[in-house]
Structure formats: C-alpha cells, structure tokens
Amino acid sequence: MNYSKWKGYSGWGEWYPRWPSPMETDPDDVTQMMFSAKSFITPTEELLSLLKTITTDQNFAHRLKKAAELNQNEQVKLLIKEKGVFTDFNVAVNPSGIRIEFKPDHVEACFYITFSLCW
C-alpha cells in the first residue's frame, strides 16, 4: 500500500492522510486497550438507555428539546442525568440539534464518545 496516497478518517468529521507511525507501546501488551474497552462499557450502556428513552418517551424528548431551544444547558444536563447518565459529559446545542460528549472518569481510560441528534 502506498501510504502517501492513502487517506484515513480522523473520527472528527474530516479525512486526512495517515502515516505509519512506530508503536509507542509493546505490541504484545494489551493491558491499556483492555482497560479502555472496560471503561467504555458503562457510558455506552448509559448512552443506549438515554437513546431508548428519547425514542420511547415523547414527553421526555419534548422537554429535552424545549430546554435546549431555550438555551437552558443546565436543565438539559439535569434531564439527561435524571435518565441515569452518571458518566461526565458536556452538552452543546445549536438550532439543528444537540451534541453530547462523554468523557472518561480517568484519563488513563483513553476513550471518548461524541454523538449528535438532529431535531
């Protein structure tokens, strides 16, 4: 494969060339990756629960959208927490939707979940 022509997805909405880089860790040591994956499970379950609530509870979806439209970010966060989301997260709202970014409790966990929903 010619790496100078191969393009990779950055995960942040744009494509950019990826260059082969040397491994900074022992290729046989999967301890960090396992820890990151394990740390990813709880926020993923919380996210799934939140999405299920949004899809099945029209009243909740309406209250969430209304608070977001009024730029009441603390109320948006409170509503999300009331549905069982305990992982630290940030909320960003714009006229076309909402973006929620989950952060790990520990920097060593090394994962991020960002998702957005359109109104």
3 state DSSP class of 84: coil
Residue-wise pLDDT tens digits, 101-112: 988 777 777 777
Average pLDDT of 81-85?
A: 94
Q: Rounded CA gap, 84 and 70, in Å?
A: 23
Cβ contacts of residue 64 below 8 Å, gap of 6+? Answer: 54, 76, 79, 80, 98
Residue-wise pLDDT tens digits, 3-24: 444 445 555 555 555 555 666 7
Q: What is the pLDDT of residue 6?
A: 46
Of residues 1 and 40, the one with the higher pLDDT is 40
